Amino acid sequence: MEFDLKNIKILTELDKNCRQPYSDIAKTVNLSQQSVSRRINKLLQEGVLKQFVTFINLEYIGFRVINICLKLKHMPQAEEEHLLQLISDIPHVNWLCSLSGSPYDLIIGIHAADVSHFERLFNQITGIFEHEIIDDGWFNCMDSFQLPYPLQKRKPEVPSSIGVKLGPKLALQRLDYLILQELASNARITNQELAKKFKTGIQTITAHIQRMEQDNVIQGYKPLIDMQKLGYQWHLVLFKLKYVDAETKKQFMEFLKSIPQTFFVVHGVGNWNMQVEFYCKNNDEYGQVMNTIFPQKYHKIIKTQHELIILKEHKCIWYPAAKVEEAIQTKLGKWNSQKQPLEQPIKTLIKRTKT
């Protein structure tokens, strides 16, 4: 797909904050507001822009982020698509991608309130695939950073505030959760539209959003860009590290973030210790990235690595879709004591009330 510099600049501005008005973007890229709106609509129609999402620190609302990888038996395409849709429909699945490479075919990101909740979700997911699973692995995310899309040369001083950050659960109000659910899948919904939907004032909505931004519950507003349509390969590398101290791991993580092709870096515990996403234009560029990692001093701490390609992103949303009531539940002990059948989606435990 041919792309001009104006489109690149528009995507770069959206990557900084996709909630900003088109008028602000127009001033930055030196176009009219109408031209910016027309270009963005075309990018949406062509699938280059997939969605506008809000990154929410799930740790602050009582969830842990865990990635599950599955190796599957070969199955007919129609059956695979049906099973993927069942997985995608689970509210607590926040990320779902098909993979190519060894040893996994799927990566599934979930958010769980605790170990018991994780077990129920894991059983629900593996139950959907039943006897189709050859192997599985999991990864508990402890710390992560998303960097800008590699649309333009990255500035060294660009901060990286989006990602999983450990911290205490914050006390939010019902309206906060309602706002988060709407913003999660549509970051460009206006305060006016939110006020109308929840029958409250615009100033009230604005105050709630600003407070959640200040508390870092809301980390940022980002577009989901299909970089494959722009000629990029999406690589995923899972590193298993040797037993090294926390400072060495931190230094290795900072090194990975400094690589221009790096898009996402995650540190955690599980079957692997570091999960890294790269956008590369071709295999040669990816080879250069890997050659950058292994000849330098940190390569000695790498025990093994699995190199995969993300073929398709089926779902990406940083909130339990259509499950506001679950997030409002503050007595997690009572919630977790109400066990649900594993073959059914977890049901809402709090009745919906009028706003």
Dump pLDDT digits (tens) for 53-106: 999 998 888 899 999 999 999 999 999 999 999 999 999 999 999 999 989 999
For position 3, which CATH number holds? 1.10.10.10
Q: Which residue has the tokens 């070969």?
A: 74
pLDDT at 81: 95
Q: What distance in Å separates the CA atoms of residue 74 and residue 202, rounded to the nearest whole number?
A: 52
pLDDT at 3: 75
**Helix 174-185 to helix 202-214 angle, to the nearest 10 degrees?**
80
Token readout for 346 is: 């977890």
| Alpha-helical runs (H) found in 216-279 | 246-258
Nearest to 110 by CA among 179, 61, 151, 64: 64
pLDDT at 319: 86
Q: What distance in Å separates the CA atoms of residue 150 and residue 142, rounded to the nearest whole number?
A: 25
Is there a single domain that holds both residue 35 and residue 63?
no
**For the chain, how many structural domains are there in total?**
2
Q: What distance in Å separates the CA atoms of residue 194 and residue 188, rounded to the nearest whole number?
A: 11
Residue 316 belongs to a domain: yes
Query: What's the domain range around 35?
Result: 1-46
Is there a single domain that holds both residue 156 and residue 74?
yes
Quick one: average pLDDT of 324-353? 38
For position 118, which CATH number holds? 3.30.70.920
Is there a single domain that holds both residue 160 and residue 38?
no
pLDDT at 344: 37
Q: What distance in Å separates the CA atoms of residue 7 and residue 39, rounded to the nearest whole number?
A: 7
Q: What distance in Å separates the CA atoms of residue 309 and residue 102, rounded to the nearest whole number?
A: 10
Q: What distance in Å separates the CA atoms of residue 324 and residue 163, rounded to the nearest whole number?
A: 21
Cβ-contact 236, 277 below 8 angstroms = yes
Residue 341 belongs to a domain: no
Is there a single domain that holds both residue 65 and residue 181?
yes
In single-letter form, the type of residue at position 59 comes to: E
Residue 355 belongs to a domain: no
pLDDT in tens, 5-59: 999 999 999 999 999 999 999 999 999 999 999 999 999 999 999 999 999 998 8
Res. 327: pLDDT tops 50: no
C-alpha to C-alpha distances, 77 to 38, 73, 82, 90, 304, nearest whole angstrom = 36, 12, 9, 21, 31
Is there a single domain that holds both residue 67 and residue 161?
yes
Residue 209 belongs to a domain: yes
Q: What distance in Å separates the CA atoms of residue 112 and residue 116, rounded to the nearest whole number?
A: 8
Is there a single domain that holds both residue 69 and residue 131?
yes
Percentages helix, strand, coil for the chain, rounded to the nearest 5?
A: 40, 25, 30
Quick one: average pLDDT of 328-342? 37
Model pTM score = 0.86
Is there a single domain that holds both residue 38 and residue 142?
no
Residues 284-293, buried b or exposed e (16+ Cβ, 10 A)?
ebbeebbebb
In single-letter form, the type of residue at position 213 comes to: E
Question: Residue 164's pLDDT band (boundaries 50, 70, 90)?
Answer: low
Rounded to 5 degrees, what are φ and ψ at 350?
-125, 130
Question: Residue 330's pLDDT band (boundaries 50, 70, 90)?
Answer: very low
Is there a single domain that holds both residue 37 and residue 56?
no
